[in-house]
Structures are given as C-alpha cells and as structure tokens.
Amino acid sequence: MARRPDVHPELTGDRCSDCNGSGTVIADMGGFKAEVDCSQCYGTGLVNSPNACIECYGCGTVIVDFFGVNVETTCDHCGGSGLEPKTELEGDSKGQ
C-alpha cells in the first residue's frame, strides 16, 4: 500500500493495521459506502508515531466547531506539517 502523499515524509511509526497503512477505510453510511479517514491513525497510515504532533496526531489538520458546524482547518500547533515542533531545549544545529 502506498503512503498518502499529504503525510509528511519525516513522520515515523508503525503501519496501521486497521487501514493497512493507506490512511482510509470504507465505512457503511447507512445504505451506501464511503471512503473516510481511518479513525485509528487519523488518516496518516501510521500509529505509535513518536514525532507526530500532539494536537493533530500527524495529519496536519484539526476539526474545530465554527458556529455549530465542524470545519477542518490547519493545525496551529504544528503549522500543518503533522510533526511535533522542536522545542528550544532540543535546539537546532544552526545555533550551536
């Protein structure tokens, strides 16, 4: 199964067994079937991801309530990358 193109290439983890790493599953929507994001891996195709964002779980987007309507928007915590931002304590190679 190919990795979803919208998942950051540096995101690591184990292949999700529910969707076999595709990030999507077929759901029964009361009489018809639809392809939806996997609820186990949040659409990333990976689980147990040590570097996944703690807010969006690696998918880069979050669902917010906008006047009673659920709206998908870019995750503010990771800027949509899906990766947990590095802290100043971790440092970077430029500043040291």
> pLDDT per residue over 1-30, tens digit each?
455 667 788 888 999 999 999 999 999 988
Q: Report the domain count for the chain.
A: 1
Q: Which run of H or of E encompasses 14?
A: strand 14-15
Question: Is 80 inside a domain boundary?
Answer: no
Chain segment 44-74, per-residue pLDDT in tens: 999 999 999 999 999 899 999 999 999 999 9
For the chain, what's the residue count?
A: 96
* Domain housing 70: 14-74
Burial of 89 (0-12, 13-18, 19+ CB in 10 A): exposed
Please report whether residue 6 resides in a domain. Answer: no
The rounded distance, in Å, linking the Cα atoms of 72 and 42 is: 13
Which residue bears the tokens 């147990």?
48
CATH number of the domain residue 42 falls in: 2.10.230
7 inside domain: no
In this predicted model, what pLDDT tens digit does every residue of 68-93 receive, in sequence order?
999 999 999 999 999 999 875 555 55
